[in-house]
Each structure stands twice: as C-alpha cells, then as structure tokens.
Amino acid sequence: MRSPVAVEGLPFIAAFAAVAVAGEILCPSVIGSVLLWILTGWCIWFFRDPERHPPQGDGVVIAPADGRVIVIEEVAAAPLSGQPARKCSIFMNVFNVHVNRCPIDGTVSKLAYHPGRFLNAAVDKASVENERMEILLTSPSGVLLPFVQVAGLIARRIICRLQPGQEVVQGGRFGLIRFGSRVDLYLPLSARIVVGLNEHTRAGETILAHLEPTP
C-alpha cells in the first residue's frame, strides 16, 4: 500500500510534529499548541500524494502537474530538443498537489539541471532564469517531448528521480517541487492542444493535447 504522502515530505512532517510536541511540553499554551498542530497538518496536506487514473488513448499528452495553465505560446527552440514547439506552462501554488507525473510513455533521452534564481514562478522569465531541471522524453513513435521543472519564489528544492535511458509510463510519478513552482511542457507544433489559458489541471489525469500520428 502506497503512502498517502510523498516520501520526500516525511522529514518535514516529522520536524513539524516534533516542534508541536516540544511546544506542548516546554511552553504549554492552547493557542500555541493548536497553531503548531495546524502547521503540522498543513505540511501533511501539502505533501499529499493521491492516486490518479490516466486517461487511455493513442497520442494523448496528460498534465505533468496540478495547477493553472498560465502560458500557451510558440517558441523557436525547445530545451534539449532544439525544435520549434508550443510551450504550455502550468503554475502550482502552495495549495496544489506538488507530485509531478510523466506526460507520456517513453524513454528519458536527456536530463539537464540548471542552478538559478528563485523568482516568482508565474512570471515569464522564470523559465530561463530560475533553478530548473530539463527533461527530454522520446515516445515509442519517436516524438520528442521536453518538459521542465522550474523552482519558484518559495520553492527551494527540485526533486527529479529520473535517469537517462529510463523507461517511463504515462502518469507515473517522477518527482516534485517543494512549495510553489511551475512545469513547462513543450509540445510539437503539430500537436492539438485542448486546454486553454487559466484552466486548472490535475497531474496524471487532465488531457493537455493530442499528438498527431507519425507518417
């Protein structure tokens, strides 16, 4: 049985709980105790890792993150692939589930980590100036699909469990970004995008686009 919270969150949850217990012992106060346990509960809730059920269908690209679509635009060269693409950016606030999931079946062709700043993840320049992890998946049909985990104003740690050459399944968990961030997905120009700006997504379930079949 899977843990209902991401394993990366367990040290934080334990630390919050320890502070709450210590507070009750050293400085007993009803208000203080309630606040500390509320913070502990919030930490558990933040690192929640619910089950998701990926939709079935050939060529379906699903959301890698919970959040809100803040950018849909064409770019001249996507990270790692260098190909023209349409960028679809999903912004995660502190209330969203932060576990990230693979948008398609495929093979991890490349990974590239870039240290950087911690600007508000909702601003455009965060995609190129913030700390980020670039990932390139190659689908079984040969489609290149780059996507990028981008740290945010409060997020200070990107966790990516993927390795070059690894086979992944659509909807599979691959990492998370702690405390507010974004994920940029670079779709082929031929893809048919089916979400709009400001729509909300659920990682592993919301369909973002349909890939055109390769000739």
Print burial letters for 85-119: b (CB count within 10 Å at least 16), e (below 16).
Answer: bbbbbbbbbeebbbbbbbbbbbebbeeeeeeeebb
Residue 19 φ then ψ, to 5°: -65, -40
What is the per-residue DSSP string for 132-156? EEEEEEE-TT--EEEEEEEE-SS--
Catalytic residue among 81, 89, 139, 181: 181
Indicate if 181 belongs to the active site. Answer: yes
Q: Residue 87 in contact with residue 75, Cβ under 8 Å?
A: yes
Radius of gyration, alpha carbons of the chain: 19
CA–CA dist 183, 158 (Å, integer): 11
| Two structure tokens written together for 199 | 């729509």
- List beta partners, residue 107: 138, 167
DSSP letter assigned to residue 126: H
Residue 189, exposed/middle/buried by CB under 10 A (0-12, 13-18, 19+)?
A: exposed
Question: How many C-alpha atoms does 185 have within 13 Å on its Cβ side?
Answer: 28
As annotated, the active-site residues are 181
